[in-house]
Amino acid sequence: MGEFLALFLLLSPAAVVYGGEERPRPPATSADAIPSDGEMTMEELDRFYDNARRGSGAPEMDIAPSRGGGLKYSAPEPKAVPATPPPVTGGAEKSAGGEEKGTGGHGVTIQVIGSAQPLAFRRGADAAAAIRRLPAGSITSIEFYGHGAPGYQTVDPDYSLGSEEAGDLLRGKMAPGATLQFTGCNTASIGDRMRLNPAFGLSSITRRLLYFSLPYFQDRLDGRSAEEAREFWEREWNKDLAQETSLQLRGTKVCGYRTFGLVPERLPGVSHLTGANEATSPGYVAGVKACYINGVEVRP
């Protein structure tokens, strides 16, 4: 009898919640909300947005690979880049199956004209698919959040992009005066300004060690000539993803981090305490930001 009573008490709130809905609304994750051919019109975008808002807060699209248009399939790249050129998979996607666990905070947040709510995606491939279907000039701001390295940024373990890929993906989609933010470490060059900030100095030292010295010696061990290895990694270690992307997206303000961008919420333990271990945007980032418009540095 007690078991029946407990079951009844457990089911009652669920029934109330379920009964509160007059009719089931289309979920934000429905791929049918997006036309399979061509771009969305502003009306369709508005409808899509309404659906997204009815979802569980941050809409996460679940688009099957067959509907992804010209997306390429490629194997996931390792996060660390010790001995090979930065892995740019450009629109790489693995599968649109279940959400991966334990990959920490990462994602893409897109602000579109005419909506107060941003679109948030945990997977880069889903965000890319949605961006391709947005009307031209509709994005007012977009943030790629994940791990960065000189010249490229990863969004999730299966999706990373360089300046060419970001340019191809977003060309024509950005509204006038829009902002693109790469929230990842070393997504801008260290620059040539003298600074007194010791943390900036330490970040620059670490960048040089990790992205020049380490891969240089790895290449030497692999039999590459000293001159070739030096020339290659001298070019790579201080690449400026933000500046290069700003040249691809004329008129868009593109920002990155000159240093390691440390997100306190990503620290082990803190993310669990704050419940931000699967966040799609970073909150506070400790790092030195740099912004460019058409390749020229502007105030962040």
Partner 1 sequence: MSDLKALLEVLLLAAIPVMPVIAGRLLLKRFPKTEAGAEPVPGERAGRLIGNFLFWCGILAILLVLVFILNYKGVI
Q: Does 260 bind partner 1 (CB under 8 A)?
A: yes
Positions 25 through 84 that interact with partner 1 (CB under 8 A): 79-80
Enumerate the H helices of 63-185 as residue ranges.
124-133, 163-170
How do beta strands 253-257 and 174-183 pair? parallel
Q: Does 199 bind partner 1 (CB under 8 A)?
A: yes
Closest approach, Cβ 261 to partner 1, in A, equals: 9
Instruction: Name the one range near partner 1 by CB under 8 A: 62-70, 107-115, 207-215, 276-284.
Output: 207-215
What is the Cα–Cα distance from 215 to 210, expressed in whole angstroms? 7
Helices 163-170, 241-248: inter-axial angle, 10-degree rounding: 30
Q: Closer CB to partner 1, residue 46 or residue 278?
A: 278
Tokens of 96: 């649109």
What is the Cα–Cα distance from 184 to 260, expressed in whole angstroms? 7
256 forms beta bridges with 290
Q: Among 42, 202, 273, 298, which residue interacts with partner 1 (rule: CB under 8 A)?
A: 202
| DSSP 8-state class, residue 212 | I
Q: Closer CB to partner 1, residue 175 or residue 199?
A: 199
Strands (E), 115-252: 119-121, 139-145, 148-149, 152-156, 159-162, 174-183
Closest approach, Cβ 126 to partner 1, in A, equals: 21
Whether 162 and 155 have beta carbons less than 8 Å apart is answered as no
Q: Among 30, 206, 277, 294, which residue interacts with partner 1 (rule: CB under 8 A)?
A: 206
Q: Among 122, 123, 133, 147, which residue interacts with partner 1 (rule: CB under 8 A)?
A: 147
Q: Closer CB to partner 1, residue 2 or residue 198?
A: 198
Q: Among 15, 267, 273, 296, which residue interacts with partner 1 (rule: CB under 8 A)?
A: 267
Strands (E), 76-151: 107-112, 119-121, 139-145, 148-149
- What do you get for the CA distance between the two ends of the chain, in Å? 65
Closest approach, Cβ 98 to partner 1, in A, equals: 21
Which x/- pattern, by CB under 8 A, does the window 104-143 give for partner 1? ----------------------------------------
Judged by the rule CB under 8 A, the positions of this chain that interact with partner 1 are 79-80, 147, 185, 198-199, 201-203, 205-206, 208-210, 213, 216-217, 220, 226-227, 230, 260, 262, 266-268
